[in-house]
Structure 1
Amino acid sequence: MTITMKATAKVRNTTSRVVLDGGGLVTLSGGGARRILYMDTCDEAQVWTTSHCQNQSSPQLTVQNLTFADGNSTGDRAEGGGGGAILVRGGRFKVVNSKFVRNRCDRTGPDLGGAAIRVLDQYQGLPVYVVNSTFGGASGQGGTCSNGGALSSIGVSWTVLNSLMTYNTAVGNGANPAKSGTPGGGSGGAIYNDGNTYTLKIAGSIIENNHANEGGGAVFYVSNDRTGTMSIDSSTLRGNRSDGFETSGLPGIFFLGAHKPTVTGSTLSH
């Protein structure tokens, strides 16, 4: 069953816990016209519940057993834009056994991203969990955005488990900061992470055939103060094209952090 959204669904901040469960039978579609789901603890229109909106424990949002299709946040500049299917700021967020196809956001912008999901702030720096989920999955099904054809965030930790990311594209140009005369963007074909102290953990996952016009065909990871860390365990990253730049010895990855990513039991190749 496909439900085409007539408006973006918004989580009220007075709600402590929200679980959207499609039972594996439901597709939520943005119809190519709008973002599908939005939660922002700092949006006064959804009610402020604390004096520290960017660091509060609720709402706790879980999406599971759902397909998110044809979300489009192009032109929507809430929290800087991005998040074609889902935009989250604050609280806690988890994705379980879900699929994201053909989502998109603005095609240019130095730090804008997340064709499927964009996250800003999580309670006490706890990670977003993405479990047993698919982003793209086949040619023509991937997400498209300036940065982060699947996921994007600033200062947010992620734990990606047993998931598949294929055929996603970062289509901006000029990178970040934007080169003179360019609109910027084009990094992180699948994942675009920026910030200071945060972690990216990838385990049991396949990231394959993604593409970035600039850096990191699979993953773009920058810890500006070089305190952040990344680990890859029991995963395959293969055939991810970086047209501009990537880190030597890490095919498909551009990385700046505390030390080289920890890679165990994994295959990284062009």
Structure 2
Amino acid sequence: MRAASLLLLIALPGPLAAQSFCTPVTAEPLDAPTVVGNGTPGSITRTALQAALDAGGPILLDQGPAPTTVVVDQTLVAGRGLVLDGGGLVTLSGGNGRRILSLVNPDPRPDAPQFTVTLQNISFRDARSSGRGGAIYKEHDFEFPHKLSLKLVNCLFENNHAPLDGSTQDDGGGAFYGELLQRIDIGGCTFRNNSGSNGGALYSLGSREINIVDSVFETNAAIGTGGNPGNGGNGGAFGVDGGDRRVDVCRSRFIGNTSNAFGAGFFSVMYDATSRSRFEDVEFRGNRQLSNSQHSGGAYIQDGPWAMERVSFIDNEARGFGGLFVAGNAPGLIRNGTFVGNIAREGLGAAMALPSGAPIEIINTTIAHNVSTAAFAAGISIGSPNQLRLANTVFAYNRGGNVFVNWAMNNPASFDGGGNQQWPAQRQSGNTNGGAETPVTAGASFADPLLPGAAANNGGFVPTLAAPANSPLINSGVASVAGSGTPVPPTDARGEPRVGAVDRGSFERQPDGRIFFDGFETP
């Protein structure tokens, strides 16, 4: 698959568009629900709740107008279509000793009907189960695959854990572990302080469709070691494995998650061109890979198509490849990306590492202030020859510990889409002149873009580096990508329209005096 054809996976956003491809995830209506509880604290029993789950349909939990917690003394089981609504007030707890909910399909027939379990306006916390699924587990056993779907809406998952049991490299999922589901839809949820061998918050194995919108993954941890094979440690927040699957993530944040192996924020292994991973309006910030034996802080993507639109990788850290790592047969596209302050402690590619054999395009992206502490290629690590095309992309102030090897890219991109700019022109560390930087593309220019030292909230969903009025980035980009059918994006990383001549990088400076749609003046 050529990188340009990845645009078929992304509907182009219009001006000020907030979302282009993720399916909205909204709460289900409750029509004549079964009410569990009588409106007073302590009135919900595990027995009554299990009976409601057995009956299925809409269920409303009611322990009154104040927040309450129900500690389950035995794991609940859901085996039919239902909507469980906590009214925004009820928390189900595992009491730090057990899983809260198991999802099962009791019908093994190939023509068994599909059904969906919806959990909404409810919290899950303090659950623990060795191996898989600290709070919730959908196990694939005797049934035909892809007959069950899970929908999570306005849920909080906090302090749930799936500690190692030492039996398999694929364990994990502190909040949820799902095997061979048809769909997983998550909207408006927060996952905080969960841990598992892989997928500190979530892990999916063999599920077909995963759709995540308006959600936050914060301070989750993949606590296994050795990767795969090994005892895990992949996907500090979210891990997904399996072929013929599609992952969409929109308007979500991965903040401060950790891993011991690959992908402290996000981890994905694909096996075919029918799979994909897409991200839009997504922030990866402060995710850290902790061990000295593996790598990749923000996101790890392997062997399948991927695309990123309006994304920011900021202050992620790893032994190598602090921001984004892509491996194998993985054609991809980045438009309106911002890679700032990422750190590779020992290896290359502080901002990103890309495979040389896959067609990849990077358009209107800013790569700045990244540091390969003990090495080089702080911007992009890639082999030569490669199939990388750059257009309107800015490399600025990236630094390496080795002053004698290129800091922006160890090898230039093979294809020049035009409008690329980099700085500095000379590598200098103290009194040591390490020599001239190699142009990132054949026609790249050298000039100081005058960018600030840190990304900030300049409007839109993801942080950006705002180009000042006197920056040479202003009005100096190309209007079309040479040699490619992929268009220059009509908006910048904030969703602001590109006006007049295109600016280089992910930030488009608006005309002086223009007022943001949210009422703030242009910086």
| Conserved? CA contact 2:138–2:179, under 8 Å | yes
Q: CA deviation at 1:88?
A: 1.8
| Aligned equivalents of 1:208, 1:3: Cα separation in 2 | 29
| Conserved? CA contact 2:161–2:195, under 8 Å | yes
Larger Rg: 2
Q: Which of 147, 163, 172 is equivalent to 1:113?
A: 172
Number of the residue aligned with 2:310: 265
| Aligned equivalents of 2:161, 2:185: Cα separation in 1 | 21
Number of the residue aligned with 2:124: 68
1:40-74: CA deviation from partner (whole Å, max 9, x where unpaired): 21xxxxxx334138x7402x200000010011111
**Is the aligned partner of 1:224 residue 2:304?**
no
Letter in 1 for 2:198: N
What number of residue pairs does the alignment pair up?
Answer: 235
Q: CA deviation at 1:155?
A: 1.4
* 1:1-270 matched pairs, under 5 angstroms: 1-12=68-79, 15=80, 17-41=81-105, 48-52=106-110, 56-58=113-115, 60-74=116-130, 81-89=131-139, 90-107=147-164, 109-123=168-182, 127-136=183-192, 142-156=193-207, 157-178=209-230, 184-225=231-272, 227-243=274-290, 244-246=294-296, 252-259=298-305, 261-269=306-314, 270=316
Once structures 1 and 2 are overlaid, which stretch shifts more, 127-136 or 236-245? 236-245
| Aligned equivalents of 2:203, 2:186: Cα separation in 1 | 13
| Conserved? CA contact 1:229–1:257, under 8 Å | no
Which ranges in structure 1 are unaligned for 5 or more consecutive residues? Answer: 42-47, 75-80, 137-141, 179-183
| Conserved? CA contact 2:269–2:304, under 8 Å | no
| Aligned equivalents of 1:56, 1:112: Cα separation in 2 | 28
Letter in 2 for 1:112: D
Letter in 1 for 2:149: R
Letter in 2 for 1:57: Q
| Conserved? CA contact 1:235–1:267, under 8 Å | yes
Q: CA deviation at 1:226?
A: 5.4
Number of the residue aligned with 2:387: none
Letter in 1 for 2:202: L
1:182-229: CA deviation from partner (whole Å, max 9, x where unpaired): xx1111000111111111111010111000100000011001345421
Aligned to 1:24, the other structure's residue is in SS state: coil
| Aligned equivalents of 1:267, 1:254: Cα separation in 2 | 15
| Conserved? CA contact 2:271–2:304, under 8 Å | no
| Aligned equivalents of 1:199, 1:147: Cα separation in 2 | 19
| Aligned equivalents of 1:227, 1:256: Cα separation in 2 | 14
1:106-165: CA deviation from partner (whole Å, max 9, x where unpaired): 235411111001111223xxx3100000000xxxxx111111011001111311100000
| Conserved? CA contact 1:228–1:257, under 8 Å | no
Q: CA deviation at 1:91?
A: 1.1
| Aligned equivalents of 2:178, 2:74: Cα separation in 1 | 20
| Aligned equivalents of 1:174, 1:11: Cα separation in 2 | 34
Identify the structure with the greater strand proportion: 1
Cα gap change, 1:86 to 1:159, in 2 (>3 Å) = same
Cα gap change, 1:177 to 1:56, in 2 (>3 Å) = farther
Which ranges in structure 2 are unaligned for 5 or more consecutive residues? Answer: 1-67, 140-146, 317-523
